[in-house]
Structure 1
Amino acid sequence: MTDLTLHRPGAILSYDVTGPGVLRPILVAAHGLTSSRANEDASGIFDWSPVIASGRTVARFDARGHGASTGRAQPEDWHWPELAADLLAVVDAVSPDQPVDGLGVSMGAGTLLWAAVLHPERFRRLVLVIPPTAWGTRAAQAALYEQSAAFIEERGMEAWIRAMVALPQHPILEAGGWPRGPDADAAEDLLPTVFRGAAGTDVPGEDEVAALKHEVLLLPWAEDPGHPVSTAERLAELLPNARLEVATTPDDIRRWGARIAAFLEH
């Protein structure tokens, strides 16, 4: 598998395309804040290999400033509508003539919602994994991002990682034996800017979300204030063709790849 590159305003995105391509459309996947393709693979929490095994091609990319992608120190570059423009550019690169299926984790879910609102015709089905804080719950999370940005500027990225690792682990992840994190895969000089960008953004408005006609699979997990089930529940209320399935055990999470493959096939 060879990385491909895509030039964008203020960034060069790194992406890859994997799979036999027997089934269409392609699935384009977007990761979460401070993560990357490599981080997802190393953690093992988000395993999309069953989707590839089902015969579908999967395109994955590192968001600007994450992993192998570059970025610049402008917080607005990490507002989700801007990241959605990057996602849509990847969609155009890998599937210029046909709609794709979209998958987003956390920040990637917010990005995907914006991309679908901006260009609904470019997507067939959507998978939103651990949707992040939104609307009324966003302000408290934004304050935490601002604190993280200031902490990194004052004490450095390694000190921030140590502080994060010292916090209690998510109960489901601890029970599942997944490794501790975060092992942030973002450039230290950009990470405060990334956090400030995240603090200044939100999902689309409720009316815009309610106008989406796509079939949507919502996969939150329980007991995570940074990814509250309330977001997924509200999205399920707004989206006219949504299915909500809350993970409460590690085995629920381990079944996500197969569940997504089945959702995209049928």
Structure 2
Amino acid sequence: MIVSVPSAGPEVGLLQRPRATLAFDVAGVAGGPLAVHAHGSLSSRAHEDRAGLFDWTPLTATHRLARYDARGHGRSTGRAVAADYSYPALAADLLALCDHLSPDAPVTGIGASMGAATVLWAALARPERFDRLVLAIPAVAWGAREPRRAGLRAAATLVERRGTGTLGVAAKVSGPPAVLAEVPQYATEFDAAEHLVPAVLRAAAEADLPTPDRLRELPHPTLVLSWPTDPVHPPATARTLAAHLPNATLRTATTLAAIRSWGRTAAEFVAAPQA
């Protein structure tokens, strides 16, 4: 069931999903092609706006841009079950939103971190639903992800015992990657209900990107966006994605200004004629 909510600005609404309600908004060219953006783990639309890193509004010059809060994040609801936050489950939510907003035409899938994984798993499940992909800061994956899994499980247990404040303290101690030194709030603020955070973290501990062999199945023109000095989102993951996706372009930003220009870069990419 879809519930439309009147708004003087972007169209906003709620999408009812199994065991969750997704909050979304749509802005841009009325009747234009659709681009759908998925955010990172423990983030949200509002969190991204506050952090000021990712501004995808340049896409609205040619597209309708849909943004939504993943289940359990921001204004979306969810339950405390780790399986609900697996990448394939999140991909099913993304596909349902695409089916509602653009039932007859493929869409551009845009994702950051967990959102990039969501887009990839959705494209593998139903490749015909997408015309292009934009994958920003893909997280550490495959063999390199193994050391991170134990830390995510430990963080889940710590939140259960002491609350999400412990995550914020730990993030402030470690500090953001050097490339984000001017925006430390990006690394220290979380936008998910406290009772759901352990489930989200445990799901992340079990999650991974599709294998390189599976990536070769995706023919879509793909833009991969990376930044340095971040062990959680290392350039090596982005390079591997770009190497194995058949039609990928890799861009690496080394300054905050370059990161903040990604919206324009993505807008140029999706507006360019396909070869």
Q: Which TM-score applies when normalising by structure 1? A: 0.95
Q: Which residue number in structure 2 is paired with residue 37 of structure 1?
A: 45
Aligned residue for 1:263, secondary structure, equals helix
1:163 and 2:170 correspond: yes
**What SS does the aligned partner of 1:217 have?**
strand
The answer to whether 1:14 aligns with 2:18 is no
Distance change (3 Å), C-alpha of 1:179 and 1:161: closer
Match of 1:207 among 195, 209, 213: 213
Cα distance, 1:140 vs. partner? 1.7
| 1:191 match | 197
Corresponding position of 1:101: 108
2:123 to 116, 123, 130: 116
Q: Is the 8 A contact 2:44 2:74 kept in 1?
A: yes
Report the alpha carbon displacement of residue 42 of structure 1 after superposing the two structures with TM: 0.7
Aligned: 1:65 with 2:72: yes
Partner Cα distance (1:184, 1:177) in 2: 14
Partner residue in 2 for 1:5: 14
The equivalent position to 1:238 in structure 2, one of 244, 247, 262, is 244
Mean alpha-carbon deviation: is it higher for 143-152 or for 209-218? 143-152
Q: Give the Cα–Cα distance (whole angstroms) in 1 for the partners of residues 139 and 184 of structure 2.
A: 20
1:251 has 2:260 as partner: no
Cα separation, 2, equivalents of 1:21 and 1:246: 32
Instruction: Give the match's secondary structure for 1:166.
Output: helix
Shift of 1:141: 2.0
> Contact 1:36/1:67 (CA < 8 Å) preserved in 2?
yes
The question of whether the paired residues in 2 share the 8 Å contact of 1:25 and 1:100 is answered with yes
Deviation at 1:258, TM superposition (A): 0.6
Structure 1 position 260 matched with structure 2 position 266 = yes
Instruction: Work out the number of aligned pairs and report it.
Output: 263
Whole-angstrom CA distance in 2 between matches of 1:123 and 1:2: 22
- Name the CA distance, whole Å, in 2 between partners of 1:55 and 1:216: 18
Deviations 1:169-208 (A, max 9, x none): 211111x456453211000001011100111111112221
8 Å Cα contact 1:21/1:55 also seen in 2: no
For residue 49 of structure 1, what is the aligned residue in structure 2? 57
CA pair 79-55 structure 1, distance change in 2 beyond 3 A: same
SS at structure 2 position matched to 1:35: coil
**Identical aligned residues as a percent:** 47
Query: After TM superposition, what 4+ stretches of structure 1 lie above 2 angstroms from structure 2?
Result: 176-182
Residue of structure 1 in register with 2:147 after alignment: 140
Name the aligned partner's letter for residue 170 of structure 1. P
- Measured in 1, the distance between the counterparts of 2:141 and 2:72 equals 23
Aligned-residue Cα RMSD (Å) equals 1.3
CA distance in 2, matches of 1:21, 1:132: 33
2:5 corresponding residue in structure 1 = none
In structure 1, C-alpha distance between the alignment counterparts of 2:14 and 2:113, rounded to whole Å: 23
Alignment of 1:73-92 (within 5 A): 73-92=80-99
Q: Give the structure 1 partner of residue 7 of structure 2.
A: none
For residues 11 and 105 of structure 2, what CA distance do their matches in structure 1 show?
A: 23
TM-score (norm 2): 0.92
Per the TM alignment, residue 223 of structure 1 is displaced from its structure 2 partner at its CA by 1.1
State how far apart, in whole Å, the 2-side matches of 1:71 and 1:179 are.
25
User: What's the CA shift for 1:2?
Assistant: 4.8
For structure 1, the residue ranges without an aligned partner over 5 or more in a row are: none
